[in-house]
């Protein structure tokens, strides 16, 4: 896969890598394995690598390290890493999911790929892979848990304008819903967002609105 070749990694077990890139919607249609078991392992590896870095490179107490780690292994962060290196373009989805590639899936695949690198190449290789991706974000102190709704509310309050969130659409199976929300300021749509919950979609809509200079 190009995204791994770009980072100097060659996976020997290509079938396992394909599994890591396979969502359950695809595996159900093609009778093959999906990434869910690999995701479980990758989650633990990601936590271990991030914990090791924070322990060796900071003098923070346990609670502070736990808080910082959570910021860099959250869904939004993992989806960002995936898009940075191009994992999102390689994910295999079933026909019913093809137009519904969301942060949850992209983040889960990131974990699954980490598990494949560990199983195929060992801990040192996956550690370098994750360090190369994540440490730059830690050094720049990127905040993946910003409350964009609060930021937008504060921006709107300074001009005394009204703000509301409106559900535009929801789709997917009952156990795997996706929501599309819009944020309106004085009855004008300023931003739209998609998420696996209404709250996540609202946050993404608020971020979309904040990017537009007219709100600031």
Q: 0.85 cut: is pTM over it?
A: no
Identify the active-site residue in 39, 103, 111, 208.
Answer: 111
pLDDT for 132:
97
**Which residues are within 8 A (CB) of 13 and not within 5 positions of it... i.e. 6 or more apart?**
116, 119, 120
111 classed as catalytic: yes
Catalytic member of 43, 88, 180, 202: 43
Give catalytic status of residue 52 as yes or no: no
- Kindly report the CA angle at 197 between 194 and 203, in degrees rounded to 5? 55
Checking if the pLDDT of 102 tops 80, the result is yes
Quick one: pLDDT band at residue 27, thresholds 50, 70, 90?
very high
Does pLDDT of 216 surpass 60? no
Four-residue CA torsion sign, 77, 81, 83, 84: positive
What does the pLDDT read at residue 215? 53
């Amino acid at each position: 896969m190009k995204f791994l070749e770009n980072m100097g990694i060659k996976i020997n077990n290509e079938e396992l890598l394909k599994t890591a890139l396979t969502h359950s919607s695809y595996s159900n249609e093609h009778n093959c394995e999906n990434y869910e078991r690999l995701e479980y392992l990758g989650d633990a590896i990601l936590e271990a690598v991030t914990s090791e870095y924070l322990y060796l490179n900071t003098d923070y107490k346990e609670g502070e390290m736990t808080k910082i780690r959570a910021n860099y292994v959250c869904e939004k962060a993992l989806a960002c890493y995936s898009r940075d290196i191009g994992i999102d373009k390689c994910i295999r989805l079933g026909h019913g999911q093809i137009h519904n590639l969301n942060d949850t899936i992209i983040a889960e695949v990131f974990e699954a790929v980490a598990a494949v690198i560990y199983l195929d190449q060992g801990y040192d290789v996956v550690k370098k892979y994750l360090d190369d991706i994540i440490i730059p974000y830690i050094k720049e102190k990127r905040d993946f848990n910003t409350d964009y709704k609060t930021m937008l509310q504060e921006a709107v309050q300074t001009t005394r304008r009204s703000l509301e969130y409106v559900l535009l659409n929801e789709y997917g199976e009952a156990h795997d819903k996706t929501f599309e929300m819009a944020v309106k300021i004085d009855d004008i749509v300023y931003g739209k967002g998609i998420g696996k919950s209404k709250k996540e979609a609202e946050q993404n809509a608020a971020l979309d609105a904040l990017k537009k200079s007219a709100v600031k």
